[in-house]
């Protein structure tokens, strides 16, 4: 095998954020081998990487991280030097319907990767295991304050509980075995290739097709939105220059209530689709609230900014406009990823709302 400077296992590289991370690394670091290991669940699509999958430093392995033997085999096959771990079940509503898949992939899968890294690297310090996590582990904020790296964990949903558990295993492997870990906890991402069950891509799809726009509860829950490519640049910075054993919060200081965000999206799309102002807003439909719906997430990313000089590169207005354009131009992608088993799920989850 050609001598690569690093041989990085990126898990979940066929998903939303993972595909942006893989694309960035492949292009920016041609001397790194990037092994994308992904189970290809409903959320993973190799088509997300069609523009880069013929690059000579790219490999794909279909892998279920719950299968410990297969995880170990991939480590030895490629002599993996580093890990960027994104593979996860990621949708809160699905975790409420069926938490066990989240326990298996997010907790057991992460533990399998940690164990394989520990067995392979045998105490050497010249490696990095970067665990990609979420701000949802901190629980729910009131009207004031921001999540910092010191905020105590207080997960509320099965999704955030499974991610919190995986974060604890990552830190435990650092403290107990000295595994060289780094961790990032990011706010809500948006951008291209986002599976259309999450708020922003679902709303874009429904506005385009004049379907109801389901707003949970009163629509006053708040999320802090970050452009997915800025998350990828933060991961790049932390992976290379972050301190071992540390976690870094990643966010855009960009809080929106869900209803404000959806109204803004309606205005943007009315303009882009040549509809009269206010036409799409008529599609807004208030539906039963999500069980245990976290009120507010907001990130203090000053540690990342001060230590590594990272800041978001674009405003929400520009990023959202680009995102809408991508979805309007890539209707066939949406149709492809929402056909098959997703259709049944969608019908069960949303038909009666
Ligand atoms: P996603 O659901 O779009 O992609 C997840 C990927 O993981 C898919 O490609 C899927 O096939 C793969 N996968 C799932 N189970 C697997 C298994 N058992 N073995 C191997 N691969 C498996 O998720 P995303 O939104 O891209 O999130 C990626 C990571 O970032 C997750 O760890 C998530 O918790 C974290 N995160 C997401 C956000 C966000 O806003 N989406 C914010 C902060 C952190
Ligand atoms: P989501 O994109 O699922 O991300 P998360 O729950 O991980 O933050 O949801 C973002 C917000 O939008 C959250 O407060 C729930 C709300 N929401 C709706 O109001 N309607 C919807 O159809 C969806 C999917 C989410």
- Annotated active-site residue 154? The verdict is no
For 145-180, what is each residue's pLDDT tens digit? 999 999 999 999 999 999 999 999 999 999 999 999
C-alpha 158 to ligand 1 mean position (Å): 15
| CB 138 within 8 Å of CB 154 | yes
State whether the beta carbon of 163 lies less than 6 angstroms from ligand 2: no
C-alpha 211 to ligand 1 mean position (Å): 27
C-alpha 295 to ligand 1 mean position (Å): 22
**Residue-level pLDDT at 343:** 55
**Residue-level pLDDT at 130:** 99
338/87: higher pLDDT:
87
For 24-47, what is each residue's pLDDT tens digit? 999 999 999 999 999 999 999 999
What HEC string does the chain produce? CCCCCEEEEEECCCCHHHHHHHHHHHHHCCCEEEEEEECCCCCCCHHHHCCCCCCCCEEEEECCCCCHHHHHHHHHHHCCCEEEECCCCCCHHHHHHCCHHHHHHHHHHHHHHHHHHHHHHCCCCCCEEEEEEEHHHHCCCCCCCCECCCCCCCCCCHHHHHHHHHHHHHHHHHHHHCCCEEEEEECEEECCCCCCCCHHHHHHHHHHCCCCEEEECCCCCEEEEEEHHHHHHHHHHHHHHCCCCCEEEECCCCEEEHHHHHHHHHHHHHHHCCCCCCCHHHHEEEECCCCCCCCECCECCHHHHHHHCCCCCCCHHHHHHHHHHHHHHCHHHHHHHCCCHHHHHHHHHHCCC
**Residue-level pLDDT at 338:** 87
Structure tokens at 307: 């230590």
Which ligand sits closest to the CA of 260?
2
The residues lining ligand 1, judged by C-beta closer than 6 Å to any ligand atom, are: 11-12, 14-18, 38-41, 43-44, 63-66, 86-90, 105, 109, 132-134, 163, 186, 188-189, 195
CATH fold of 6-188+226-250 reads Rossmann fold (3.40.50)
Residue 157 CA: nearest ligand 2 atom is 6
Do domains 6-188+226-250 and 190-223+255-298+315-348 share one topology? The answer is: no
pLDDT at 74 over 60: yes
Nearest CA, atom 14, ligand 2 = 221
Q: Which of 36, 90, 195 most suits a substitution to test ligand 1, by most atoms within 8 Å of the C-beta?
A: 90
Average pLDDT over residues 62-73: 98
**Residue-level pLDDT at 326:** 98
**Residue-level pLDDT at 349:** 56
pLDDT bin (cut points 50, 70, 90) of residue 348 is low
**Residue-level pLDDT at 46:** 95
pTM score, two decimals? 0.97
Which ligand sits closest to the CA of 221?
2
State whether the beta carbon of 214 lies less than 6 angstroms from ligand 2: yes
Q: Tally Cβ neighbours within 10 Å of residue 296.
A: 19
**Residue-level pLDDT at 339:** 85
Q: Considering the candidates 58, 78, 138, 159, report the single residue annotated as catalytic.
A: 159
For 190-223+255-298+315-348, CATH gives 3.90.25.10
Domain ranges of the chain: 6-188+226-250, 190-223+255-298+315-348
Q: Considering the candidates 38, 82, 136, 230, report the single residue annotated as catalytic.
A: 136
Q: Considering the candidates 38, 82, 89, 135, report the single residue annotated as catalytic.
A: 135
- Annotated active-site residue 159? The verdict is yes
**Residue-level pLDDT at 146:** 98
Residue 221 CA: nearest ligand 2 atom is 14
pLDDT at 256 over 70: yes
180/350: higher pLDDT:
180
- Annotated active-site residue 136? The verdict is yes
Comparing 121-130, 225-234, 300-309, 331-340, the range with the smallest average pLDDT is: 331-340
pLDDT at 111 over 60: yes
C-alpha 130 to ligand 1 mean position (Å): 14
pLDDT bin (cut points 50, 70, 90) of residue 1 is low
């Amino acid at each position: 095998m050609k001598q690569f400077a690093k041989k990085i296992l990126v898990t979940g590289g066929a998903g939303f954020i993972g595909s942006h991370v893989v694309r960035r690394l492949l292009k920016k670091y041609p001397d790194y081998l990037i092994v994308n290991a992904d189970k290809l669940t409903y959320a993973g699509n190799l088509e997300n990487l069609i523009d880069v999958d013929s690059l000579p430093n790219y490999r794909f392995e279909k892998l279920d991280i719950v299968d410990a033997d297969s995880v170990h085999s991939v480590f030895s096959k490629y002599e993996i030097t580093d890990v960027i771990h994104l593979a996860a079940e990621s949708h809160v509503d699905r975790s409420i319907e069926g938490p066990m898949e989240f326990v298996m992939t997010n907790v057991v899968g992460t533990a399998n990767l940690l164990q394989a890294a520990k067995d392979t690297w045998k105490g050497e310090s010249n490696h990095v295991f970067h665990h990609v996590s979420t701000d949802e582990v901190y629980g729910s904020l009131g009207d004031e304050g921001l999540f910092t790296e010191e905020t105590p964990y207080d997960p509320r949903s099965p999704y955030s509980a499974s991610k919190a558990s995986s974060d604890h295993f990552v830190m435990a492997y650092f403290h107990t075995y000295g595994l060289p870990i780094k961790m990032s906890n990011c706010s809500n991402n948006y951008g291209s290739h986002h599976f259309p069950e999450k708020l922003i891509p679902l709303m874009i799809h429904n506005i385009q097709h004049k379907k109801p726009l389901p707003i949970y509860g009163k629509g006053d829950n708040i999320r802090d939105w970050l452009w997915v490519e800025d998350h990828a640049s933060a991961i790049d910075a932390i992976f290379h220059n972050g301190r071992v054993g540390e976690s870094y919060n990643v966010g855009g200081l960009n809080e929106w209530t869900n209803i404000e965000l959806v109204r803004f999206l309606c205005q943007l799309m009315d303009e882009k689709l040549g509809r009269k102002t206010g036409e799409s807003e008529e599609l807004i439909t208030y539906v039963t609230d999500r069980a245990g719906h976290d009120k507010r997430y907001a990130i203090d990313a000053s540690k990342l900014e001060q230590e590594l000089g990272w800041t978001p590169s674009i405003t929400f207005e520009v990023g959202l406009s680009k995102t809408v354009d991508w979805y309007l131009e890539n209707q066939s992608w949406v149709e492809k990823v929402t056909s098959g088993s997703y259709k049944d799920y969608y019908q069960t989850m949303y038909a009666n709302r």
